[in-house]
């Protein structure tokens, strides 16, 4: 069988051109990543390790059990439901010794993309003061679940503060702040990114909505792999200092369990008229 040398040359040229185009595309993609600084780059690498927001949102929705326990044994247990598109949020509290404890029985909180709402034993509550708590809880719970991914949101500032060794682990310390609207204070996060695993083992944070800006809390995390994502399902936190000093004060414990993605919930499940 005769081999057409010209055809071989043409095929090889096409293959080389294809490889060059792929390399150029890859280089172009990398060059489009505009990092503010080294701190920003470290946060980006961390998010790629746990799974970025596109990976998370591809799951469409999540349902899980949220358990919050204070040192004096006050406990909240809720079934949380989130729809990632629109950041819709719902929580059904079977136990709520911390959250709206003055209401006996089951309470439900929701955000349907337009309004926050509250139900007590199936009845809609229109109390403005109680709804303020809902307006804090719903986006806060959603944010904590998606925090690692949302640390790459637009409008954030990053600062590499240095390095530190804690309990034999080496960390890069990155401060993350939010652009303020006017003079309104914003939260501060100080991340301790493990140099070996690239994960945030612990972080300091403030809660601007409660005016707690001078004294941070220290949050420690344990991760669980669920459907290709690393999720910090076990958390404990307490007051600290900006040096992350550990005190003898007891921890507040938070766990996320029975996490299920892509459950088929829809926007209708987040409306207050709907029976969840």
For residue 275, being part of any structural domain is answered with: no
DSSP characters over 5-45: HHHHHHHHHHHHHHHHHHHHHHHHHHHT---SSHHHHHHHH
Question: How many residues belong to the chain?
Answer: 276
Q: What is the pLDDT of residues 36-81, one digit of tens each?
A: 999 999 999 999 999 999 999 999 999 999 999 999 999 999 999 9
Alpha-helical regions (H) of 32-184: 38-50, 53-57, 128-150
- pLDDT attached to residue 133: 94
Structure confidence at residue 22 (pLDDT): 39
Three-state secondary structure call for residue 111: strand
Residue 225 lies in a domain: yes
Q: Give the C-alpha separation, 224 to 230, whole Å.
A: 6
Largest CA distance in the chain: 90
Phi first, then psi: give them for residue 177, nearest 5 degrees: -125, 165
Percent of the chain with pLDDT over 90: 76
Residue with more model confidence, 23 or 187: 187
pLDDT at position 26 over 70: no
Domain count, the chain: 1
User: Is 167 within a domain?
Assistant: yes
Distance, in Å, from the CA atom of 110 to the CA atom of 139, rounded to the nearest integer, reads: 10
Lowest model confidence (mean pLDDT) among 16-30, 64-78, 132-146, 192-206: 16-30
**Does residue 24 belong to any structural domain of this protein?**
no
User: To the nearest whole percent, how much of the chain has pLDDT over 70?
Assistant: 83
The per-residue pLDDT for 25 is: 32
Would you state the pLDDT for residue 233?
98
According to the model, what pLDDT value does residue 215 have? 84
Quickly state the pLDDT bin for 207 (edges 50, 70, 90).
confident
Is 33 part of a structural domain of the chain? no
Average pLDDT of the segment spanning 21-50: 72
| pLDDT of res. 211 | 54
Tell me whether residue 18 is in a domain: no
Ramachandran sector of residue 32 (left: φ over 0; alpha: ψ -120 to 50; beta: rest): alpha
Q: For residue 251, what pLDDT band results from cuts at 50, 70 and 90? A: very high
Nearest one of 160, 136, 131, 145 to 63, comparing CA atoms: 145
Residue 118 lies in domain: 38-270
pLDDT in tens, 142-187: 999 999 999 999 989 999 999 999 999 999 999 999 886 766 667 8
Mean pLDDT of 205-212: 70
pLDDT range class, residue 1, cuts 50, 70, 90: very low
Phi-psi label, residue 106: left if phi above 0, alpha if psi -120 to 50, beta otherwise: beta
- Rounded mean pLDDT of 134-139? 96
Lowest mean pLDDT among 64-78, 131-145, 207-221: 207-221
Q: What pLDDT was estimated at residue 210? A: 54
Q: Is the pLDDT of residue 82 over 90?
A: yes
Kindly report each contact of residues 54-61 with a partner whose C-beta sits within 8 Å and lies 24 or more positions away, as own/partner.
55/228, 55/229, 56/84, 56/146, 56/149, 56/229, 57/84, 57/85, 59/84, 59/227, 59/229, 59/261, 59/262, 60/84, 60/85, 60/261, 60/262, 61/261, 61/262, 61/263, 61/264, 61/265
CATH number at residue 242: 2.50.20
Q: Per the domain annotation, does 111 fall within a domain?
A: yes
């Amino acid at each position: 069988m005769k081999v057409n040398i010209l055809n071989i040359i043409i095929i090889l040229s096409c293959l080389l051109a294809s490889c060059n185009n792929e390399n150029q595309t890859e280089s172009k993609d990398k060059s489009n990543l505009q990092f503010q600084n080294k701190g920003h780059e470290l946060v980006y690498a961390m998010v790629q390790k746990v799974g970025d927001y596109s990976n998370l949102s591809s799951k469409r929705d999540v349902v899980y059990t949220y358990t919050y326990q204070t040192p004096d044994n006050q406990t909240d247990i809720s079934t949380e439901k989130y729809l990632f598109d629109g950041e819709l949020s719902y929580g059904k509290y079977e136990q709520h010794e911390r959250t709206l404890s003055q209401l006996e029985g089951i309470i439900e909180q929701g955000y349907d993309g337009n309004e926050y709402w509250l139900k007590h034993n199936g009845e809609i509550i229109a109390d403005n003061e109680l709804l303020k708590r809902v307006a804090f809880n719903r986006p806060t719970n959603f944010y904590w679940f998606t925090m690692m991914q949302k640390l790459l949101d637009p409008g954030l500032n990053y600062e590499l503060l240095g390095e530190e060794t804690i309990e034999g682990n080496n960390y890069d310390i990155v401060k993350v702040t939010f652009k303020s609207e006017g003079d309104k204070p914003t939260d501060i996060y100080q991340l301790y990114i493990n140099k070996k695993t690239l994960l945030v083992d612990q972080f300091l944070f403030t809660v601007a909505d409660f005016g707690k800006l001078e004294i941070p809390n220290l949050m420690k995390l344990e991760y669980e792999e669920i459907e290709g994502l690393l999720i910090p399902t076990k958390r404990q936190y307490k007051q600290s200092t900006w040096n992350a000093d550990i005190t003898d004060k007891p921890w507040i414990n938070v766990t996320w369990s029975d996490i299920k993605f892509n459950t088929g919930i829809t926007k209708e499940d987040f409306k207050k008229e709907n029976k969840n």
